Amino acid sequence: MKKSSLILVLAVSLLCGINLSPGPLLAAVIDIPEIDADALKFELYHGAPMVLANALSPIEFKDLTIKGSVNIPSSRVKGNSNLPKDQNELLVFFCKGPG
Amino acid sequence: MKLGYTNVKQYKGGLPDWIRRRYPVIRTVNYPKVNIPLMYPEQVLKKIDEVVILDIGGEELKKIGSFTQGDVVHIPLDDLEEKYGVLPKDKQIVIVDVMGKQEEIAGRFLTSKGYKNLAAMAGGGRAWFMAVRINKKVEKEAGAKMSEKKE
């Protein structure tokens, strides 16, 4: 897997509470910018096209998710058909939050 | 950049924060609201030959230990919807994830598929691996004492 691919996969893993070893890749993942709830709500419902990705399992996604989100489980990021076609489009990941 | 994507962000507050703010959410499947009974690792060890352990922890659980006891089926939660059919319906299934946080939703899903004899491992895989280690130590010490007595 290319380093760039690995960073996105690790970013989702980290967001969802998976423990990673310290190192340069972890540092790259931590650098992924955050978006807060209000800004996300605006972008999602009133902004330009974007993809909001729920990184939980398909079962958890069907049980409850943010309206307008799609499912990209953390183990199935690479090549997922729910990823935006336009690579410049805003792509936001979320899961169950901290703790 | 990240898989070629130039504008990736993370919403750290996640679903709980969104719900707290009463922003819109959607449910597409109504899994039954059932309480999956908890089983403590010591209880599972006593019934180890009667139960099937369902490991839904995937790679994350592999990092903290490996299962050495019992009949174990490994299906990460991400794959459970597609692969649950291999699970028996005539044995009790004890669901295990890393910390015990995803066992309930897995149990509710399996209930919707007709599985009735389910339990969730209290404390998840971390508690299970620790209990197995302690149990082995106790058995070893008991074995050593027996040998001393015979001598």
Phi and psi for B144 in degrees, rounded to 5?
-65, -40
- Is there a contact between A97 and B15 if contact means CB atoms under 8 Å apart? yes
What's the pLDDT score for residue A3? 56
Which residue has better confidence, B119 or B142?
B119
Q: Which of A18, A19, A35 sits opposite B11 (nearest CB)?
A: A35
Question: In sequence order, what are the residues at sequence separation of 6 or more whose Cβ sits closer than 8 angstroms to the Cβ of residue A27?
Answer: none
Write the pLDDT tens digit of every residue in A47-77: 999 999 999 999 999 999 999 999 999 889 9
Burial bucket for residue A49 (CB in 10 Å: 0-12, 13-18, 19+): exposed
Contact B94, B120 (CB under 8 A): yes
What's the pLDDT score for residue A68? 98
What's the pLDDT score for residue A6? 59
Euclidean distance between CA atoms B89 and B76, whole angstroms: 19
Q: Which secondary structure element, helix H or strand E, spans residue B4, and what is its range?
A: none
Q: Chain A: nearest CA to B43, how far in angstroms?
A: 27
Instruction: Express the helix, strand and coil content of chain B in percent, nearest 5 each.
Output: 45, 20, 40
Whole-prediction pTM:
0.86
Q: Chain A: nearest CA to B96, how far in angstroms?
A: 15
Tokens of B136: 């082995």
Indicate the residue type of B126: R
What is the three-state SS of B83-123?
A: HHHHCCCCCEEEEECCCCCCHHHHHHHHHHCCCCCEEEECC
Q: Chain B: nearest CA to A23, how far in angstroms?
A: 17
Q: Which of A56, A66, A95 sits opposite B25 (nearest CB)?
A: A66
What's the pLDDT score for residue B33? 93
Evaluate if residue B148 carries a pLDDT over 90: no
- Is there a contact between A87 and B27 if contact means CB atoms under 8 Å apart? no
Evaluate if residue A19 carries a pLDDT over 50: no
Question: Would you list the domain boundaries of chain A?
Answer: 3-94
Residues of A in contact with B14 (CB under 8 A): 15, 94-98
What's the pLDDT score for residue A5? 58
- Is there a contact between B77 and A57 if contact means CB atoms under 8 Å apart? yes
What's the pLDDT score for residue B149? 74
Evaluate if residue A21 carries a pLDDT over 50: no
DSSP A40-86: HHHHHHHSS-EEEEE-S-HHHHHHSEETT-EE--GGG-TT-TTS-SS
Evaluate if residue A14 carries a pLDDT over 70: no
Q: Measured between CB atoms, does B109 come within 8 Å of chain A?
A: yes
Residue in chain A nearest B102 by alpha carbon: A60
Name residue, tokens 């992924």.
Answer: A32
Euclidean distance between CA atoms B118 and B51, whole angstroms: 10
Q: Considering chain B, what is the average pLDDT of its residues?
A: 94
Helix (H, G, I), strand (E, B) or coil at A6: helix
Q: Measured between CB atoms, does A57 come within 8 Å of chain B?
A: yes
b/e code A66-80 from CB counts within 10 Å (16+ = b): beebbbbbbbbbeee
Write the pLDDT tens digit of every residue in B50-98: 999 999 999 999 999 999 999 999 999 999 999 999 999 999 999 999 9
Compute CA B23 distance to the chain's CA centroid, rounded to the nearest angstrom: 30
Indicate the residue type of B14: G
CA pseudo-torsion sign B119, B123, B124, B125 = negative
What's the pLDDT score for residue A66? 98
Residues of B in contact with A19 (CB under 8 A): 60, 63
- Is there a contact between B78 and A63 if contact means CB atoms under 8 Å apart? no
Given the cut 0.90, state whether the ipTM is greater than it.
no
What's the pLDDT score for residue B146? 77
Residue in chain A nearest B14 by alpha carbon: A97
What's the pLDDT score for residue B138? 87
Write the pLDDT tens digit of every residue in B89-113: 999 999 999 999 999 999 999 999 9
Query: Which domains are seen in chain B, by residue range?
Result: 31-150 (3.40.250.10)
